[in-house]
């Protein structure tokens, strides 16, 4: 290939050759603004850009791995066969990430010493920005981008891939947020390492700040007063498509290019809110446009009805005055993919299947992977929509098998241990409004299988001696689940000797039972419903757990040849402090 080193050179020599070639390029030491990059199409000649491809098997650095895009991109890169190193300021933030043990974690900051983070790396993803973190955040972003550029050049990287913001750079009215994102791209492009700048519109997926703001506004407010930005044009793009463009940028012949990233539709924010309500099963929202609301007032208003931090909300709202549509070279043309439409992207973000099934993000909790549009462990706490949770934990002196048998016998003619008249009343009310009520009972008095009806629930997940999860099928302004999870204290629950075999395989060892009721409210009515039934939950949920534990201990005491069950140090049969939580995920 023209402009590439002769075969037989090792990777380190290739990188040194590439740096030398780049530094000899006429643009290498000249500052390039955004317009320069767009006009030249690269900060390298085409031959050198094409030679900077980073194939699978190469080592790539991901900054912002604890963030919304970075946390999802790591999974995509691993699936494509790349070796991934993550630069994070706080490693604890990625401890729960599903890819944690498959990557190398380096603690550090993009504004600090990056020599160790970039040692042996072939390409880097720049996915960080400090929007609204301080009054000087714009200057800070520019300075750290310069530091990153110099470190990448010294390390001999082949390519930098940067995710910025879409907006007309020729406009004098570009918001501070969008202008800063494009300044960062221009700063990165001043060096000798070829940069791929992807300028994205609003990204649709659970965890995206712009999407979360839209989600909360539509779900909480049946009617809203908005400023003129409600009719600003946008080209929303699914997070799945953004991840495709980012990963493809490693190998596609796009080095040095600025590419616009948008979805297949151009919509106003008013249309986006209306379509969101339809997909989410909400009533049509009334939107009244007024000319008086300033970005400052709007951000305070958003702060009242959403959990998004005001210092993040204000720059985002200020950016809504700008149309964000594809006007330059499109990433979709350079790296084709069958794009998702806005409605489909919203449905995936809500965790709904194409057939309109109830959300599956909770149902998939025991699986290893999740669609990128759904909530991820590394998402901020305010993302993913409001989730109401009632969690209660109790230790029981019985085996996991005995406890699970009791759990699987709940409901039907046996009842729910406490407040059976309340369950019956709830079933009657459900029947009156066309729901399934309590009349279905259960198919077998002791055994359950996935898909079985159980009063007004249905078995969604079942793992013997470990997990039972029920999904509510009564009429609700939201989606609800009730789950029990068992965790043995470390003693082997399997039979260890003949006596245990005679006892039906019931070994020794206590069990911790965690009972979780989870509710995803739909709209304002869903939130009001949870508040209204909370007093009944405080009566019913503790009684269910207490009844299960008492039954299991009784069953254990009556089991033939059953040895005493030792309690772990500090454990007791009384419940640990219950907790009622509210999460935004």
> What are the tens digits of pLDDT across the range 369-400?
445 555 555 555 545 556 788 899 999 999 99
State how many domains the chain has: 2
Using one digit for the tens of pLDDT, what is the confidence trace for 529-544? 888 888 888 888 899 9
| pLDDT tier at 297, thresholds 50, 70, 90 | low
One domain, residues 318 and 463: no
CA atoms of 459 and 449, how far apart (whole Å): 7
Q: Which of 298, 326, 349 is the last residue of a domain?
A: 349
Highest mean pLDDT among 170-184, 378-392, 460-474: 460-474
DSSP string, 299-365: HHHHHHHS-S-HHHHHHHHHHTTS-B---S-BHHHHS---PPPHHHHHHHHTT--TT-PPP-TTTTT
Q: Rounded to the nearest 10 degrees, what angle do helices 342-349 and 269-279 cross at? A: 50
Q: Is residue 365 part of a domain?
A: no
Task: Tell how strand 286-289 and strand 223-226 pair up.
Answer: parallel
One domain, residues 331 and 425: no
Task: Tell how strand 467-472 and strand 457-463 pair up.
Answer: antiparallel
One domain, residues 345 and 458: no
Q: Exposure string (b/e) for 11-34, b if CB count within 10 Å is 16 or more?
A: eeebbebbbebbeeeebbeeebbb
pLDDT average, residue stretch 71-78: 94
| pLDDT tier at 493, thresholds 50, 70, 90 | very low
Q: Which of 349, 370, 402 is the last residue of a domain?
A: 349
Range of the structural domain that residue 167 is part of: 33-349
One domain, residues 343 and 433: no
CA atoms of 245 and 451, how far apart (whole Å): 39
**Rg (Cα) of the chain, in Å, rounded?**
28
CA dihedral 373, 376, 381, 386 (to 10 degrees): 50
Q: Rounded to the nearest 10 degrees, what angle do helices 523-558 and 420-432 cross at? A: 140
pLDDT average, residue stretch 150-167: 93
CATH number of the domain that 246 lies in? 3.40.50.720
The 10 Å Cβ neighbour count of residue 55 is 11
Place of tokens 């550090």: 108
One domain, residues 331 and 424: no
Rounded percentage of the chain residues whose pLDDT exceeds 90: 36
Q: How far is CA 121 from the centre of its chain?
A: 27
SS3 state at 74: helix
Q: For CA atoms 263, 267, 272, 275, give the dihedral sign.
A: negative
Q: Is residue 229 part of a domain?
A: yes
One domain, residues 339 and 434: no
Element (H, E) at 71: helix 68-79
Q: Which of 322, 349, 376 is the last residue of a domain?
A: 349
One domain, residues 405 and 315: no
User: Residue 509: what pLDDT?
Assistant: 66
Q: Report residue 447 as tokens.
A: 């055994």
One domain, residues 332 and 422: no
Q: Report residue 165 as tokens.
A: 């913001």
User: Residue 395: what pLDDT?
Assistant: 93
| Residue 142, Cβ density class (10 Å: 0-12 exposed, 13-18 middle, ≥19 buried) | middle
Using one digit for the tens of pLDDT, what is the confidence trace for 343-368? 999 998 887 533 333 332 222 222 23
Using one digit for the tens of pLDDT, what is the confidence trace for 393-448? 999 999 999 999 999 998 887 888 887 777 778 777 767 776 666 666 677 777 88
What does pLDDT average to over the chain? 76
Terminal-to-terminal C-alpha distance of the chain: 49
Name the nearest CA neighbour of 70 among 84, 80, 81, 56.
84
Name the nearest CA neighbour of 123 among 56, 34, 190, 23.
56
One domain, residues 337 and 410: no
CATH number of the domain that 477 lies in? 3.30.530.20
Q: Is residue 242 part of a domain?
A: yes
Identify which has the larger pLDDT, 529 or 261.
261
SS3 state at 406: helix
Q: Is residue 371 part of a domain?
A: no
Name the nearest CA neighbour of 185 among 199, 172, 174.
199
Using one digit for the tens of pLDDT, what is the confidence trace for 91-147? 888 888 889 999 999 999 999 999 999 999 999 999 988 765 567 778 888 999 999
SS3 state at 580: strand
Q: Is residue 22 part of a domain?
A: no
461 and 469 Cβ atoms separated by less than 8 Å: yes
Name the nearest CA neighbour of 176 among 228, 233, 221, 129.
129
Q: Report residue 391 as tokens.
A: 């969690």
| pLDDT tier at 300, thresholds 50, 70, 90 | low
One domain, residues 333 and 407: no
Q: Is residue 26 part of a domain?
A: no
468 and 408 Cβ atoms separated by less than 8 Å: yes
Q: Is residue 354 part of a domain?
A: no
The residues facing 456 across adjacent strands are: none
One domain, residues 505 and 420: yes
User: Residue 448: what pLDDT?
Assistant: 87
SS3 state at 427: helix
One domain, residues 129 and 226: yes
Q: Is residue 4 part of a domain?
A: no
Q: Rounded to the nearest 10 degrees, what angle do helices 209-220 and 295-305 cross at? A: 70
349 and 371 Cβ atoms separated by less than 8 Å: no
């Amino acid at each position: 290939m023209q402009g590439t080193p002769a075969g037989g050179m090792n990777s380190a020599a290739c990188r040194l050759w590439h740096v030398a070639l780049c530094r000899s390029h006429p643009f290498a030491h000249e500052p390039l603004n955004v317009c320069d990059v767009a006009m030249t199409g690269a900060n390298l000649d085409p031959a050198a850009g094409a030679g900077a491809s980073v194939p699978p098997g190469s080592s790539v650095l991901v900054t912002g791995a604890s963030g919304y895009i970075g946390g999802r991109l790591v999974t995509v890169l691993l699936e494509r066969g790349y070796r991934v190193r993550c630069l994070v300021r706080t490693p604890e933030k990625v401890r729960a990430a599903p890819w944690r043990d498959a990557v190398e974690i380096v603690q550090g900051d993009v504004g600090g010493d990056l020599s160790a983070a970039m040692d042996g790396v072939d390409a880097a993803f720049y996915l960080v920005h400090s929007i609204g973190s301080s009054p000087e955040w714009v200057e800070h972003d520019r300075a750290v981008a310069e530091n990153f550029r110099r470190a990448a050049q010294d390390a001999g990287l082949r390519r930098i891939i940067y995710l910025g913001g879409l907006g007309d750079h020729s406009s004098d009215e570009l918001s501070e947020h969008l202008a800063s994102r494009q300044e960062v791209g221009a700063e990165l492009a001043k060096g000798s390492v070829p940069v791929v700048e992807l300028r994205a519109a609003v990204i649709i997926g659970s965890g995206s700040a712009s999407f979360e703001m839209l989600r909360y506004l539509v779900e909480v407010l049946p009617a809203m007063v908005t400023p003129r930005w409600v009719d600003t044009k946008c080209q929303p793009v699914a997070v799945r498509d953004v991840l495709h463009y980012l990963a493809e940028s490693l190998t596609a012949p796009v080095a040095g290019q600025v590419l616009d990233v948008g979805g297949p539709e151009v919509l106003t924010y008013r249309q986006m809110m209306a379509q969101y309500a339809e997909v989410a099963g909400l009533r049509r929202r009334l939107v009244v446009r007024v000319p008086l609301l300033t970005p400052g007032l709007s951000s305070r208003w958003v702060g009242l009805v959403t959990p998004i931090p005001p210092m993040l909300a204000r720059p985002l709202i200020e950016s809504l005055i700008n149309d964000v549509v594809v006007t330059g070279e499109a990433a979709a043309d350079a790296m084709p993919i069958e794009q998702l439409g806005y409605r489909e992207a919203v449905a995936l973000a809500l965790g709904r299947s194409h057939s309109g099934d109830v959300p599956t993000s909770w149902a998939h909790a025991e699986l290893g992977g999740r669609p990128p549009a759904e909530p991820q462990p590394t998402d901020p706490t305010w993302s993913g929509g409001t989730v109401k949770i009632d969690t209660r934990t109790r230790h029981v002196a019985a085996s996991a098998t005995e406890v699970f048998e009791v759990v699987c016998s709940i409901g039907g003619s046996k009842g729910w241990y406490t407040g059976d008249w309340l369950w019956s009343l709830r079933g009657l009310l459900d029947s009156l409004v066309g729901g399934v009520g309590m009349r279905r009972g259960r198919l077998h008095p002791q055994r359950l299988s996935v898909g079985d009806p159980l009063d007004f629930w249905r078995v969604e997940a079942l793992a013997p001696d470990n997990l039972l999860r029920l999904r509510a099928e009564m009429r609700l302004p939201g989606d609800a689940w009730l789950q029990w999870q068992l965790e043995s204290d470390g003693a082997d629950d399997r039979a260890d000797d003949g006596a245990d075999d005679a006892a039906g395989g019931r070994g020794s060892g206590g069990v911790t039972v965690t009972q979780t009721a989870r509710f995803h409210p739909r709209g304002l009515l869903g939130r009001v419903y949870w508040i209204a039934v909370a007093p009944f939950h405080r009566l019913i949920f503790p009684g269910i757990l207490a009844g299960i534990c008492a039954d299991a201990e009784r069953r254990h005491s009556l089991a033939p040849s059953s040895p005493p069950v030792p309690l772990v140090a500090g454990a007791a049969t009384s419940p640990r402090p219950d907790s009622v939580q509210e999460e935004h995920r």
